[in-house]
Amino acid sequence: MRAIRIREPGGPEVLELVERDDPVAAAGEVRVRVRCAGINRADLLQRMGRYPAPADAPPDIPGLEFAGEIETIGTGVAGWSVGDRVMGILGGGGYGERVTVPAGQLLPVRPTLSWTEAGAIPEVFLTAADALIERGRLRPGECVLVHTAGGGVGTAALQLARAAKAGSIIATASADKLRRLREAGLPHDLAVDRRAGSFADAVAQHTARAGADVILDTVGAPYWEANMATLATLGRLVIVGVMGGMKVEADLRYLMGKRATVVGTVLRARAKAEKATLTEMFATRFLPGFTAPEGDPSHLRPVIDRIFPLAEAAEAHRYVESNRSFGKVLLDTGR
């Protein structure tokens, strides 16, 4: 099979197209013929040598999500058949024409979804669902603040917040991406330009100083103090990324006085059983939203910016690193 290999830690130029043996499905796994794979920030970090693959994933082939058809089925797998259209999350290896994946991490792809739409769903929607529902314990009527709302996780989180019946949805992003949010019709009640001043002031005014019940943050250190000021009493700050920095000096009085919770989360390093549980929750609660009619509050759709051929993975990484992308950037295997 063809795959994209990280030759050595470095910039996008270290990504190269190579031939590899087809993987073999072990017990409890299936092998999938990949049609489309999503690009995530974690892939960029792995390429730079800053985020090694887990032990059960290829060490030099990035890729955390895929969509394709089941080719072979390992022993002990029930409920799936050869030829089924599926999508799912991986510890790595998605930038290849074939992957093996635990059956518990598979989601069915409805006939109404294209391969590119399916490839844009698993990692960002599962991350956002985990952050908002499992870690953030979002309840109907609560206020949600989504940072970097124009990214893959952000565009998913806005829609999931609506589906979960949030009372108010606040989005922060650059002015250009806020414009694109509006043009795309993505749900939000307040848009805050992250370069135009403190989002804490905007949220305080919007909520009559009550604050946000759940904050989904991908930025990290630069937003720490403003996030603390913005949290409502009993609020939950869920950190899913640290694009802006990892280290903070914390005033613990914020947490004590507000009885607030701060939790960090990632999907990649979790045990297979945990990933399977999250996948099952998402399938039951949110997967039907991708076939719900537009206008229905449960309606979900992936937001796709650009699709690159597999052989152009380096160029795709350059595009993502430029911070110009809105929603998802994908790789098409083309076969």
Q: Do 311 and 250 have their domain in common?
A: no
Question: Domain for residue 93, yes or no?
Answer: yes
At residue 230, the 3 state secondary structure works out as helix
Question: Domain for residue 112, yes or no?
Answer: yes
Q: Do 260 and 236 have their domain in common?
A: yes
Q: Beta strands of the chain (E only): which ranges?
A: 2-6, 15-19, 29-38, 65-73, 85-89, 98-102, 106-108, 143-146, 168-173, 190-193, 212-217, 231-239, 261-264, 304-309, 328-332
Q: Do 257 and 137 have their domain in common?
A: yes
Q: Do 52 and 168 have their domain in common?
A: no
Question: Domain for residue 283, yes or no?
Answer: no
Question: Domain for residue 192, yes or no?
Answer: yes
- Give the pLDDT score at 334: 86
- Give the pLDDT score at 195: 84
Q: Do 44 and 109 have their domain in common?
A: yes
Q: Do 43 and 61 have their domain in common?
A: yes
Q: Do 257 and 311 have their domain in common?
A: no
Q: Do 139 and 113 have their domain in common?
A: no
Question: Domain for residue 297, yes or no?
Answer: no
CATH of the domain at 40: 3.90.180.10
Question: Domain for residue 235, yes or no?
Answer: yes
Question: Domain for residue 185, yes or no?
Answer: yes
CATH of the domain at 143: 3.40.50.720
- Give the pLDDT score at 331: 99
Number of domains in the chain: 2
| Model confidence pTM above 0.75 | yes
Q: Do 97 and 165 have their domain in common?
A: no
Q: Which of 243, 264, 285 is the last residue of a domain?
A: 264
Q: Do 141 and 244 have their domain in common?
A: yes
Q: Is 169 left (phi over 0), alpha (psi -120 to 50) or beta?
A: beta
Q: Do 35 and 131 have their domain in common?
A: no
Q: What range does the domain containing 92 cover? A: 2-121+302-332
The CA–CA distances, whole Å, from 87 to 150, 175, 198 equal 23, 33, 39
CA pair distance 61, 52, nearest whole angstrom: 11
**CB count in 10 Å sphere of residue 58:** 21
- Give the pLDDT score at 335: 60
Bridge partners (DSSP) of residue 183 are none
Q: Which of 212, 242, 264 is the last residue of a domain?
A: 264
Q: Which of 264, 283, 311 is the last residue of a domain?
A: 264
Question: Domain for residue 286, yes or no?
Answer: no
Q: Do 143 and 39 have their domain in common?
A: no
| Tens place of pLDDT per residue across the chain (335 aa) | 999 999 999 999 999 999 999 999 999 999 999 999 999 999 999 999 999 999 989 999 999 999 999 999 999 999 999 999 999 999 999 999 999 999 999 999 999 999 999 999 999 999 999 999 999 999 999 999 999 999 999 999 999 999 999 999 999 999 999 999 999 999 999 999 988 878 999 999 999 999 999 999 999 999 999 999 999 999 999 999 998 888 999 889 889 999 999 999 999 989 999 999 999 999 999 999 999 999 999 999 999 999 999 999 999 999 999 999 999 999 999 86
The CA–CA distances, whole Å, from 85 to 29, 53, 106 equal 15, 26, 10
